[in-house]
Amino acid sequence: MDFELASIALSDVTWISLAFILGFLVKQIGLPPLVGFLAAGFVLNLTGVHGGEVIHKIADLGITLLLFSVGLKLNLKNLMRPRVWAVTSMHVVITVIVFGVAIYALALAGAPLFSALDLQLSLMIAFALSFSSTVFVVKVLEERGEMKSLHGSIAIGILIMQDLAAVIFLAFSAGKIPSAWALLLLLLIPLRPLLQNLLQRAGHGELLILYGLFLALGGAEIFELVGVKGDLGALALGVLISSHPKASEMAKTLLGFKELFLVGFFLSIGLSGELSLQNLVIGALLVPFIFLKSALFFALLTRFKLRARTSLMATLNLTNYSEFGLIVAAVGVSNGWIGNEWLIVIAIALSLSFVVAAPLNTRADTLYFNYREFWRRFQGHVRSHDDQEIEQPGASIIIMGMGRVGTGAYDRMHELRGNAVFGIDSNADTVTSHLAAGRNVVLGDPTDADFWDRVKRNHGVDLIMLTLPKIQSNLAILRQLKRFGFPGDVAVLAQFPDEESILKEAGASAVFNIYAEAGLGFADHVVESRSG
């Protein structure tokens, strides 16, 4: 966790420039920039550049900050639900058995690279391939503004359970048993009020950034000192302060640092070893197996009373291989169990799985909408109480996104139109607080095609106001409205001037810049107060 190394890395124009160019190019064709960063790593590898300590340190910083930010947004109650821990456990066991037997069969058949594996090593590689990528999923959910949606929280919960399983494996397989001092980590729990009090007093500027870095990196170092994986410490410190109102502000403040350091992680994958035709072919042949993992996820989630759409969205998030697979493989290489070739094979499979998963997640709503009768065949008749289809007869105004702006819009429209207005939000805690305040707010995902199908039948709806923070989420809703031929007006908030034309082209009746509108509202308020 050396900041001096990070400052040295920033002077390396070669990999920064290549990462930017390839990241920019893939973004133009609708893929996440991380695919370009992965490609940059492989290109650097082919040109003879090898990953050094600097890039690996930056990669470590990125993953540490990533897990800390996940902890800031983690709902522990979500992990305790069977649809998270039971689905994860069953999926890992079934995947390891099926993949392990298939890999061992190839070993018995004398297939290249597989022939040196016994049953135990085959199961270990299957275990490495059973995970999904925390880095990829969090990036996708953040870009789409779906971190707190039901399917997003389920996907994150499953990833956390997988990560915990990987940490346990690494602790035992590497012979790294936590020391007796690890019990002292429990003292962090009674320190929670102090940590949250410091967060409250840190303000909103540079002290907030430094405090976030202190918690993430300090937590990682403390856990490492007692023989526990450091990333788990960053996650734990994030969880300890996650209930504080300023936790989300801290996550946003650290976002730029996390994004920058994660570039090093993606580069390090491509730089992890030399490519060969054999490794490339085997890595590519592993990619189709992600769809077996996906089918199993979808089947399990629908059996746990989730709607087909929720199950599909969470499944598409998890349709990839994981960076933890590389870590598991690295342990095998360092212990002499498997050859370094397997590290390269898994890196290739991981990278290609991202290339496959990126367009699937970009077109997730379309995939559900176009084939929803097929997907809905698999959902049960009894569904979870927090995954019901939404009905609001008599409503004429819908507020999408009940944050601070949405709440202000709701209160004003309620003054004008009374009970004809209702709100919708994908965060269960937000909905609970609004219900307690007497507002008519329901839990749901506003990008849900099933929801808009019912809105279409309710011809009384004449105005929809979108106050979601991410333009991707607003665009997804506008696409749904266009599909259903919504006849009313749609007002949308934009954060940046260049978003206004994009939203209007997508079908918005009116677009308002949130900062310009805030200025107008402030001026009106001042005039009213002076005249009064």
The reported pLDDT for the residue numbered 163 is 76
Reported as a single tens digit per residue, the pLDDT across 160-170 is 888 778 767 76
pLDDT in tens, 510-524: 888 877 766 666 666
Question: Strand 397-400 and strand 441-443: pairing?
Answer: unpaired
Nearest-angstrom CA–CA distance, 95 and 110:
23
Pairing between strand 489-494 and 421-425? unpaired
CA distance linking residue 329 with residue 220, whole number of Å: 22
* Domain boundary assignment for the chain: 56-260+287-317+325-346+357-378, 397-531
With beta carbons less than 8 A apart as the criterion, state whether 310 and 387 touch: yes
Q: State which amino acid sits at residue 434.
A: H
* Confidence class for position 528, pLDDT limits 50, 70, 90: low
pTM confidence score: 0.73
Banded model confidence at residue 285, pLDDT cuts 50, 70, 90: very high
Determine phi and psi for 232, rounding to 5 degrees.
-65, -30
The pLDDT value given to residue 389: 60
pLDDT digits (tens, 9 = 90+) for 178-226: 777 878 888 888 989 998 898 888 888 888 889 988 999 888 888 888 8
The model's pLDDT over 37-65, given as tens digits with 9 standing for 90+, comes to 878 888 887 777 665 667 777 888 888 88
- Distances, alpha carbon 73 to alpha carbons 219, 401, 500, in Å: 17, 17, 29
Residue 180 φ then ψ, to 5°:
-65, -25
Helix axis angle for 206-225 and 192-201, nearest 10°, is 160
Nearest to 422 by CA among 441, 402, 445, 403: 441
Q: Residue 292: pLDDT above 90?
A: yes
Host H or E run for residue 290: helix 290-303
Q: From the CB of residue 157, how many other CB atoms can be counted at a distance below 10 Å?
A: 24
Distance CA 327, CA 337 (A): 14
Q: Which residues contact 296 (CB under 8 A, 6 or more apart)?
A: 91, 94, 95
d(CA 335, CA 343): 13
CA distances from 411 to 241, 253, 389, 474 (A): 30, 29, 25, 21
Backbone region of residue 394 per phi and psi (left: phi > 0; alpha: psi in -120 to 50; beta: other values) = left
Would you state the pLDDT for residue 223? 86
In DSSP terms, which residues pair with 421 in a beta bridge? Answer: 397
* CA atoms of 175 and 192, how far apart (whole Å): 31
In 3D space, the residue among 484, 423, 399, 475 whose CA is nearest the CA of residue 449 turns out to be 484
pLDDT tens, residue by residue, 297-356: 999 999 988 888 889 999 999 999 987 787 788 778 777 888 878 888 888 898 889 889
User: What one-character DSSP code corresponds to residue 30?
Assistant: T
The percent of the chain in helix, strand and coil, each rounded to the nearest 5, is: 70, 5, 25
Architecture of domain 397-531: 3-Layer(aba) Sandwich (3.40)
Between the CA of residue 138 and those of 160, 165, 209, 257, what are the distances in Å? 11, 18, 20, 15
pLDDT at 87: 94
Question: Is there a contact between 230 and 223 (Cβ–Cβ < 8 Å)?
Answer: yes
Q: How far apart are the two ends of the chain, measured CA to CA in Å? A: 57
Distance CA 18, CA 55 (A): 14
* Amino acid letter, residue 13: V
Phi, psi for residue 489 in degrees, rounded to 5: -95, 150
Strand order of the β-sheet with 489-494 is 441-443, 421-425, 397-400, 463-466, 489-494, 510-513
pLDDT tens digits, 473-502? 788 888 878 877 788 889 998 888 888 888
What average pLDDT does the segment 351-364 reach?
86
- Do the Cβ atoms of 134 and 147 come closer than 8 Å? no
Structure tokens at 105: 């069969």
Nearest CA among 510, 504, 519 for reference residue 491:
510
Q: Are 120 and 447 in contact (CB under 8 A)?
A: no
Pick the residue with more confidence: 104 or 13? 104
Interacting residues of 320 by C-beta distance below 8 A, sequence separation 6+: 132, 133, 136, 137, 290, 350, 353, 354, 356, 357
